[in-house]
Amino acid sequence: MSDQAMQDDNEGATASPWAPANQRQRQREAKRQAVLSTAAQLFNEKGFQSTSLDDIAARLNVSKPTLYYYVKSKDQILIECVNSGLEMMVEGIEQTRLAGGQAIDQLLACMRIYTRIVTQDFGMCVIRISDAELPSEHRAELRRLKSGIDHAFRRLVSASIEEGSIIPCDPKLTAFMIAGALSWIGQWYQVQGELTPDKIADAYIDTFKHGFLQRNQRPS
Amino acid sequence: MSDQAMQDDNEGATASPWAPANQRQRQREAKRQAVLSTAAQLFNEKGFQSTSLDDIAARLNVSKPTLYYYVKSKDQILIECVNSGLEMMVEGIEQTRLAGGQAIDQLLACMRIYTRIVTQDFGMCVIRISDAELPSEHRAELRRLKSGIDHAFRRLVSASIEEGSIIPCDPKLTAFMIAGALSWIGQWYQVQGELTPDKIADAYIDTFKHGFLQRNQRPS
């Protein structure tokens, strides 16, 4: 709602200097998300251990006490960042499932979505923060989400073999190879670099589909 | 040297209860290596932050003061573990270079060696310990080694394209894809599991060479 609209609503009454409650709630949530995104960027740049709440506050131009209005602790921020990244992955996989089609098309779509997510703030946290750095009381839940993503890739590989799209192979190993190659993108990707996530996904998907050997080097 | 041989050497003199200096030096080095290997296993199992010198001493059945006879600190142990893993990789790549042959054969040989190393104690540390966890004064040197390994893969991909073994591609992206898929093995590999490093390397190399699509799904 614009300031003008607020004034119109309150015509005749003394205008309140506070925004309406629902607007304040939205502003608060936007600020909370800014805290989490900024924290994720710092974790990805210099590591979780080396990032302090002061660093996060400084980048947001606020004081540390202001941060505490939105988050409880650095550990809580970390959990929310990693959890957001994992939820994006789970939702992406679910969307490709709902879109239907051949298993191989779903698998390739998931690879593209996964590449996009590991090159974003929260997805990169999933890759760059080691399991050992996660607060122990949340480790099991986050591992459960990770394992669910692994199994989704494995099921898509299995279904792609069954429908005759993929050559017979160990679905677990192939799924690990896919998830590994894609996850590692989150380790080396630079947001300011020349490569877009979609260009990277194109190149990886092409190699996964056809291999890198010259055609004349292949067994017939 | 056996105890018997020592006694023979000292025949006529009063046998010393201490081993000769060169033997003591070898024993000391073997014990030092046991400290490093045990530490690497613990770092890989529960993370660097969560592993204490007490944990390492307990698994070796010695006291913490005994450890200090072989190593200065937990940080020093970490550096030596990661450095050993990286040196194994550098040496492995160098050996395939010296063996000569086509670039593609060298590349595939490097992939096999890299897989073997990331499934061993020190190599697994290279993968599981994040850059941010490394002591800052050694980070640049360890990054230099990692970057050298990345560039070796990139050069082999470039040379494989030039000799006509690999289809034209972005060597940097393809090298990242290879190193990523292989590095991730160090994240999920379980020493007690059914898969041997060579079986994993076979499967990965096959997919990299030929892709996973069924032949009848390929463009002619």
In this complex, the residue of B166, B179, B203 whose CB is nearest that of residue A212 is: B166
Chain A residue whose CA is closest to B139: A46
By the 10 Å C-beta count (0-12 exposed, 13-18 middle, 19+ buried), A12 is classed as exposed
Task: Provide the pLDDT for residue B12.
Answer: 58
Contact B210 A211 (CB under 8 A): yes
The full DSSP string for A124-161 is: HHHHHS-GGGS-HHHHHHHHHHHHHHHHHHHHHHHHHH
As given in the structure block, the two tokens for residue A200 are 């990277």
Task: Provide the pLDDT for residue B4.
Answer: 54
Which of chain B's residues have a Cβ under 8 Å away from the Cβ of A174? 203, 207, 212
Cβ(B56)–Cβ(B35) under 8 Å? yes
Which of chain B's residues have a Cβ under 8 Å away from the Cβ of A133? 47, 49, 130
Residue with tokens 């060579």: B198
Q: Which of B184, B196, B206 to mutate to test the interface with A (most CBs of A within 10 A)?
A: B184
As given in the structure block, the two tokens for residue B149 are 């390994």
In this structure, whether the domain defined by A24-209 belongs to CATH 1.10.357.10 is answered with: yes
Query: How does pLDDT run across B205-214, given as a tens digit for each residue?
Result: 999 999 999 9
Shortest alpha-carbon distance between residue A27 and chain B (Å): 33
Task: Provide the pLDDT for residue A18.
Answer: 82
Segments of chain B assigned E as strands: none
Cβ(A219)–Cβ(A196) under 8 Å? no
Contact B180 A180 (CB under 8 A): yes
Would you identify the CATH topology of the domain B23-210?
Tetracycline Repressor; domain 2 (1.10.357)
C-alpha distance from residue B26 to each of A117, B34, B37, B56 (Å): 51, 12, 16, 21
Q: Which ipTM did the prediction report?
A: 0.86
Which of chain A's residues have a Cβ under 8 Å away from the Cβ of B218? 209-210
Gap between the Cα atoms of B161 and B156, Å rounded: 9
Chain A residue whose CA is closest to B209: A211
Give the helix/strand (H/E) hosting A171: helix A171-188
Which of chain A's residues have a Cβ under 8 Å away from the Cβ of B149? none
Residues of chain B with pLDDT under 70: 1-13, 217-220
Q: Where are the alpha helices (DSSP H) in B10-73?
A: 21-46, 53-59, 64-67
Locate the domains of chain A by residue range: 24-209
Contacts of B47 (CB under 8 A, 6+ apart): A130, A131, A132, A133, B128
Contact A207 B169 (CB under 8 A): yes
Chain B residue whose CA is closest to A135: B50
Cβ(A36)–Cβ(A80) under 8 Å? yes
pLDDT along chain A (220 residues), means of 10: 51 76 89 96 92 96 94 95 97 95 97 98 94 87 94 97 96 97 95 92 97 76
Name the pTM for this structure: 0.87
Contact B184 A188 (CB under 8 A): no
By three-state DSSP, how is residue B213 classified?
A: strand
Q: Facing residues of A166 across strands?
A: B213
Gap between the Cα atoms of A44 and A124, Å rounded: 7
Task: Provide the pLDDT for residue B163.
Answer: 96
C-alpha distance from residue A12 to each of A8, A61, A68, A134 (Å): 9, 38, 38, 55
Shortest alpha-carbon distance between residue A178 and chain B (Å): 7
In this complex, the residue of B46, B173, B209 whose CB is nearest that of residue A213 is: B209
Contact A213 B166 (CB under 8 A): yes
Contact A165 B213 (CB under 8 A): yes
Q: Measured in whole angstroms, how far is the alpha carbon of residue B2 from the centre of its chain?
A: 32
Say how many CB pairs under 8 Å bridge A and B.
142
Contact A132 B173 (CB under 8 A): no
Gap between the Cα atoms of B104 and B22, Å rounded: 45
Task: Provide the pLDDT for residue A208.
Answer: 97
Q: Where are the alpha helices (DSSP H) in A100-132?
A: 103-118, 121-128
Gap between the Cα atoms of A185 and A201, Å rounded: 10
Angle at B79 between CA B76 and CA B81, to 5 degrees: 110
Shortest alpha-carbon distance between residue A11 and chain B (Å): 57
Contacts of B196 (CB under 8 A, 6+ apart): none
Which of chain B's residues have a Cβ under 8 Å away from the Cβ of A181? 177, 180-181, 184
Shortest alpha-carbon distance between residue B184 and chain A (Å): 5
Q: Say how many C-beta atoms besides its own lie within 10 A of residue B12's C-beta.
A: 4
Q: Facing residues of B213 across strands?
A: A166
Contact B180 A183 (CB under 8 A): yes
Task: Provide the pLDDT for residue A55.
Answer: 97
Contact A209 B211 (CB under 8 A): yes
Q: Say how many C-beta atoms besides its own lie within 10 A of residue B135's C-beta.
A: 13
Contact B167 A212 (CB under 8 A): yes
Q: Which of B41, B161, B207 to mutate to test the interface with A (most CBs of A within 10 A)?
A: B207
Shortest alpha-carbon distance between residue A58 and chain B (Å): 20
For A43-71, give one letter per residue: b (16+ CB within 10 A) or e.
Answer: bbeebbeebebebbbeebebeeeebeebb
Task: Provide the pLDDT for residue A193.
Answer: 84
